[in-house]
Amino acid sequence: MPTIMRALVFHGPDQLAIDEVPIPRAGVNQAVVKVSLTTICGTDVHISREEWPVSKGRILGHEAVGTIHEIGPGVEGFEIGQRVLIPAITPCGSCFYCLSGQWAQCSGHHDKWVPGGGWRLGNSINGCQADYVLVPYAQANLAPVPKSLSDRQVVLLADIASTGFSASEKAGVSLGDTVAVFAQGPIGLCATIGARLKGAGLVIAVDSIHARLKMALRLGADVALHFESMDVVAEIMRITGGRGVDVAIEALGTSGTFENGLKVIRPGGTLSSLGIYSHDLTIRPSDYDGGLGDQTIVNTLCPGGRQRMTTLMRLVENRRIDLTPLLTHEFNLSQIVEAYDLFSEQRDGVLKVAITT
């Protein structure tokens, strides 16, 4: 039995390295999964630049498929060698937030809530950009993958698809609604797919990169607006006959996209925010109908846990969605530092990178 594995370790700002570290062992209610496919998230890039704090020595990564290698005491109904999808957010299933239905807000066994607390892998504990990963609260988080599905077909459900789809779910998009999605990065593209899935009658995609707009059209947008070539707010108002959209989705995390989202929603409409903001947001009376517009602003952190993953895999299995076009590049785990460079600099039309072990 091997005891040493490769892992991508954060050593400080812009200091990522593949190190050899011990393979984790499963404790109570934990499992160790042998990773077969993982990927890099925009959040990992923020961590690598020290824009989101994690401890030095932390193994990064929070999206993975693999096979169960070790099952700890208290985890029932799984087998060694079984293929599983691991959610980015790993709720405990028993705290105040989990039992109130807000899985992503899980505080675990701590009374104190911290923002993004349900996100543990590659954040508060070691992550999955490694040959093996320790899965906490394994009973609530190991999601068996149907045999008919490949690793590549399901890996993006762990984070970006779950997050992207949640924007329209949280906003309560109704059949025929008009939805504008601001930014078409990996999460925005999933938000575009999600709007279509929820039955939107018109999906307007906004971005400043032509290749991403082209991908948005391929994945279900009806209209693609190039942010730098036009006044997108005016164009959206024109398309909607001056009324505005039913739902605007913010998928970038900047004050500009947030404010534009607010500007284009109709009275009674909803701004559904997926971004993580590090700057102040401004709400101007003119963009907010002076507070008289019956508008709603909602935000969502990636829904996680086993049931969410199982539900999303059903959409793939029955061919409602295909996320594989988003995996534009492939690297082996040994070359993951190169993959970070490519991904963080958005070179070569990269959307998501498949990292194999």
Which residues between 21 and 50 bind Zn ion (CB under 5 A)? 41, 43
Residue 214: CB minimum distance to Zn ion, A = 24
Residue 211: CB minimum distance to Zn ion, A = 21
- Which position among 9, 84, 92, 213 is part of the footprint of Zn ion (CB under 5 A)? 92
- Rounded alpha-carbon distances, angstroms, from residue 149 to 47, 48, 213, 326: 31, 32, 28, 16
- Cα 50 to chain centroid distance, Å, stands at 19
Q: Which is nearer to Zn ion, 126 or 270 (CB)?
A: 126
Residue 350: CB minimum distance to Zn ion, A = 15
Residue 95 within binding range of Zn ion, rule CB under 5 A: yes
Contact string (CB under 5 A) for Zn ion, positions 189-228, x = contact: ----------------------------------------
Residue 47: CB minimum distance to Zn ion, A = 10
The stretch near Zn ion (CB under 5 A) out of 9-17, 26-34, 83-91, 175-183 is 83-91
Which residues between 106 and 135 bind Zn ion (CB under 5 A)? 106
Q: Which is nearer to Zn ion, 159 or 235 (CB)?
A: 159
- Which position among 131, 151, 159, 259 is part of the footprint of Zn ion (CB under 5 A)? 159
Residue 105: CB minimum distance to Zn ion, A = 8
Q: Which is nearer to Zn ion, 23 or 88 (CB)?
A: 88
Q: Cα–Cα distance between 357 and 340 in angstroms, integer?
A: 16
Measured over the CA atoms of residue 333, residue 115, residue 140 and residue 194, the dihedral's sign is negative
Count of residues of this chain found to bind Zn ion when the rule CB under 5 A is applied: 8
Residue 232 within binding range of Zn ion, rule CB under 5 A: no
The stretch near Zn ion (CB under 5 A) out of 6-14, 90-98, 198-206, 316-324 is 90-98
The stretch near Zn ion (CB under 5 A) out of 68-76, 84-92, 147-155, 193-201 is 84-92
Q: Which segments of the chain does DSSP mark as H helices, in order? A: 42-48, 96-99, 138-141, 151-154, 160-171, 186-197, 210-219, 232-239, 255-264, 306-317, 336-344
Residue at token pair 């401890």 = 55
Q: Cα–Cα distance between 220 and 214 in angstroms, integer?
A: 10
Biggest CA–CA distance in the chain, Å, is 66
Residue 253: CB minimum distance to Zn ion, A = 12
Residue 151 within binding range of Zn ion, rule CB under 5 A: no
* Cα–Cα nearest to 183, from 244, 88, 258: 258
Q: Cα–Cα distance between 179 and 193 in angstroms, integer?
A: 11
- Which position among 7, 23, 89, 98 is part of the footprint of Zn ion (CB under 5 A)? 98
Residue 186: CB minimum distance to Zn ion, A = 9
Tell me phi and psi for residue 224, to 5 degrees.
-120, 125
Length of the chain: 357
Measured over the CA atoms of residue 119, residue 124, residue 128 and residue 133, the dihedral's sign is negative
Q: Which is nearer to Zn ion, 44 or 246 (CB)?
A: 44
Q: Which amino acid is at 93?
A: G
Q: Cα–Cα distance between 33 and 13 in angstroms, integer?
A: 28
Interface residue list for Zn ion (CB under 5 A): 41, 43, 91-92, 95, 98, 106, 159
